[in-house]
Amino acid sequence: MRVAQVQFACWDKIYHFSLNNLSLKKGDRVVVETELGQEMGEVVGFEDIADDGNSEEVIVSSEINPAGVEEKKIERRVIKPILRIALPEDFEKLPSKKEKEEAFSACEEFIAKRELPMKLVDVVFSFSGNRIVFAFIADGRVDFRELVKDLTGRFGKQIRLTQIGIRDEARLAGDYGHCGRQLCCKKFIKNFSSISSEMAEAQQVVHRGSERISGCCGRLMCCLQYEYQGYKELAEKIPAIGQKVNVDGKKGMIVGAHVLKQTVDVEFVDEKDGRIILEVDLQRHKK
């Protein structure tokens, strides 16, 4: 079954909705029915999922329980149809820039008053207008129950606070990376994947220092995953460091490797010349 991927905020999850015979394209704004009422979102892509005839999808996620053990969570979610492509009158219902700025400022004042260790990064009004979602970042868990009471009293609406990641903040703010291009998370990445130091090690860029391989968010750059698999495959063709080899009749030991060039540094010990290290092309010295 062909479904549309709809997102209500750039830091929010991506949800699936059936096309409902509508002709849609990426970037279209649509009105959908959710468990919390009608919402307006953006079509960020399309996907083919298994159709069991029940219009449901099975979502498997994992979370860490209080004991520090990873537990899998299985959720069945009904795939609802998109109601319509957003109309001009639908956009008129959205809050103005001034309303959002006032809500943002009010929340910041309450945070400062309560001295809460959190940074507010975004505010989103529901399409129905009866709910406001405040997104924030923090180093750990924050007890914001009193803050919710403050905001409920101030706006008279349902209040939700959502803690997002620092990478979500970078996506929301937007910037340019070391490459001079717009951040990948702002331009096209919709779902973040885990970036590990192993990826940087495989591509031999660890020596550049953490600042040069980290993005604006302070985390390892997402682009480290793009060529990771290719580097892994190339690394498998290179002999291990410390392995003894024979090059043009001379015995030596591998002391370094250059994955992308497919060369190795071989150390030779000569009675006359002493210790010599030469770069050897693996392609030219295949057995």
Give the dihedral of Cα atoms 166, 10, 50, 79; nearest 10 deg: 120
Mean pLDDT of the chain: 85
CA distance 190 to 5: 10
| pLDDT of amino acid 123 | 95
DSSP helix/strand/coil, 206: helix
- What pLDDT band is residue 54 in, cutting at 50, 70 and 90? low
* Chain centroid, CA 91 distance in Å: 29
Does position 189 have pLDDT exceeding 90, yes or no? no
Is the pLDDT at 57 greater than 70? The verdict is: no
Reported as a single tens digit per residue, the pLDDT across 214-229 is 888 888 898 999 989 9
Three-state DSSP state, 232: helix
Position with higher pLDDT, 195 vs 116: 116
CA separation for the pair 93, 127 (Å, rounded): 7
User: Per-residue pLDDT for 158 more than 90?
Assistant: yes
Q: Where are the beta strands (DSSP E) in 8-55?
A: 14-18, 29-34, 37-48
Examine the pLDDT at 269 and tell me if it is beyond 50: yes
What 244-250 contacts at long range (C-beta under 8 Å, 24+ apart), as own/partner pairs, is: 245/280, 247/278, 247/280, 247/285, 248/285
Q: Write phi, then psi, for 58 (nearest 5 degrees).
A: -100, 125
- What crossing angle do the helices spanning 145-155 and 97-114 adopt, rounded to 10°? 140
Structure tokens at 215: 């993005």
> pTM of the entire structure?
0.69
List of long-range contacts for 111-119, beta carbons under 8 Å, 24+ apart: 111/147, 113/150, 114/146, 114/147, 114/150, 116/142, 116/144, 116/147, 117/142, 118/142, 118/144, 118/163
Share of the chain above pLDDT 90, in %: 37
For the chain, what's the residue count?
Answer: 287
Average confidence (pLDDT) over 245-257: 88
Q: What is the pLDDT of residue 65?
A: 47
For residue 108, pLDDT beyond 90: yes
Under a CB-based contact definition with an 8 Å cutoff, are residues 43 and 26 in contact?
A: yes
Tens-digit pLDDT profile for residues 109-145: 999 999 999 999 999 999 988 899 999 999 888 899 9
